[in-house]
């Protein structure tokens, strides 16, 4: 089993703060987050202990960004022959109930530099048919990385490339690697709770965009998705929409394709009941061949997830594990569904909700990484 590389995991650039809108209340989506004194106190205490000053300087050269992490050899030849790496950004487009890819910004990593690309070009390469022999061997696998809340644009690229480089070191088959960047930068002109609320309102729209990306991919193409915190909610919501479900005001037209997506969740910030028959993402499980959930029963932020909605008092899937069975009375993770594997990171990383800390657990227990690239476990 691989051991964690401490040198490749520097001090976290910030904590991702979670928020949740209670399921079935999308009609009043602008009034979801409580501003009660308890929630305010808890969030303020956590935010007061956030590490500061770790925002990385933006650079167009991915090699410069990763040289200190992966070495000069990796930086000089970051993208492996046969691979493609893109960043898909919705940071400049407003929410809409209609699908319009024109505002989506796409950048491609060529050599060690990011260059502008088009959405059509990217999708053309991703959807290019592969031979039956390549499909059976699991070649040309698409992997999507989705970050969490309060993440700067430059940090998104760096973190996505960490995942890509790790998969490459594991001799992954040729990949189409997508770094999905959504507008999660903290707005310091607003109060903390108001800013978190605005970010939470955006999640269903981001899931709507990702679901449209999935709909354009061949159903039999090997696909893996990794989501951290809010990114896990976006991933689960996208699969729910792709399967024909509804989240908030969003729903996709047309028949739902049958997929076997491999999903890896890091500290997912959604209700642990979400995959149950009456849950918020009840249909997402239909699209999953396998789910690996890294939860942390010591996570100091997700521990208080229930305070976000005092009426339903949800418990975070990233704190107690997801439930895929009928019994919701147990506080431990339920693993009766053979497609779901759950790993408690508490003993590995302790009290933290920082994304880079969760990478320690991901490297030490690499089932989630193999889940993204290994077709033999389907």
Dihedrals φ, ψ of 271, to 5°? -60, 135
**317 near 293, Cβ under 8 Å?**
yes
- Average confidence (pLDDT) over 334-362: 90
What does pTM read for this prediction? Answer: 0.80
Q: Tokens 């928020």 sit at which residue?
A: 19
Nearest of 316, 256, 261, 279 to residue 18 by alpha carbon: 316
Tens-place pLDDT, residues 236-252: 999 999 999 999 999 99
Tens-place pLDDT, residues 34-78: 444 444 434 433 433 343 333 333 334 554 444 444 444 444 568
Rounded to 10 degrees, the C-alpha dihedral 191/146/269/370 comes to -150
Domains parsed from the chain with CATH numbers: 6-10+33-50+57-325+333-377 (3.40.50)
* Banded model confidence at residue 134, pLDDT cuts 50, 70, 90: low
Q: Is 106 a residue whose pLDDT tops 80?
A: yes
- Average confidence (pLDDT) over 352-360: 94
Report for 10-24, 42-56, 277-291, 299-313: range of highest mean pLDDT? 277-291
Residues 6+ apart with CB under 8 A from 52: none
Rounded Cα distance between 203 and 199, Å, is 7
Specify the pLDDT at position 49. Answer: 36
Tens-place pLDDT, residues 141-199: 999 999 999 899 989 999 999 999 999 999 999 999 999 999 987 778 777 767 777 78
* Banded model confidence at residue 354, pLDDT cuts 50, 70, 90: very high
Specify the pLDDT at position 7. Answer: 31
């Amino acid at each position: 089993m691989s051991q964690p590389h401490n040198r490749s995991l520097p001090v976290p650039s910030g904590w991702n703060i979670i928020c949740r809108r209670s399921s079935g209340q999308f009609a009043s989506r602008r009034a979801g987050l409580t501003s009660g004194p308890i929630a305010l106190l808890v969030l303020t205490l956590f935010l007061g202990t956030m590490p500061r000053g770790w925002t990385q300087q933006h650079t167009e050269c991915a090699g410069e960004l990763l040289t200190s992490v992966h070495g000069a050899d990796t930086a000089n030849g970051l993208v492996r022959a046969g691979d493609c790496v893109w960043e898909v950004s919705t940071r400049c487009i407003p929410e809409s109930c209609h699908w319009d890819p024109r505002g989506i910004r796409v950048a491609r990593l060529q050599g060690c530099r990011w260059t502008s690309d088009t959405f059509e070009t990217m999708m053309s390469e991703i959807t290019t048919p592969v031979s039956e022999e390549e499909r059976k061997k699991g070649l040309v696998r698409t992997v999507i990385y989705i970050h969490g809340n309060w993440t700067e644009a430059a940090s998104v690229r760096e973190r996505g490339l960490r995942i890509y480089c790790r998969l490459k070191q594991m001799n992954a088959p040729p990949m189409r690697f997508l770094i999905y960047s959504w507008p999660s930068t903290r707005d310091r002109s607003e109060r903390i709770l108001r800013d978190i609320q605005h970010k939470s309102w955006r999640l269903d729209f981001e899931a709507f965009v990702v679901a449209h990306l999935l709909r354009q991919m061949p159903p039999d193409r090997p696909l893996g998705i990794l989501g951290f915190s809010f990114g896990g909610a976006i991933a689960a919501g996208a699969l729910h929409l792709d399967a024909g479900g509804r989240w908030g005001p969003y729903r996709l037209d047309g028949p739902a394709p049958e997929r076997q997506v491999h999903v890896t969740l890091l500290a997912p910030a959604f209700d642990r009941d979400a995959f149950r028959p009456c849950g918020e993402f009840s249909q997402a499980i239909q699209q999953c061949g396998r789910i690996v959930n890294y939860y942390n029963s010591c996570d100091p932020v997700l521990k208080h997830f229930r305070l976000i909605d005092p009426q339903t008092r949800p418990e975070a899937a990233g704190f107690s594990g997801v439930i895929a069975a009928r019994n919701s009375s147990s506080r431990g993770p339920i693993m009766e569904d053979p497609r779901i594997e759950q790993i408690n990171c508490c003993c590995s990383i302790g009290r933290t909700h920082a994304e880079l800390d969760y990478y320690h657990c991901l490297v030490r227990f690499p089932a989630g990484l193999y889940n993204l690239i290994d077709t033999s476990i389907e």
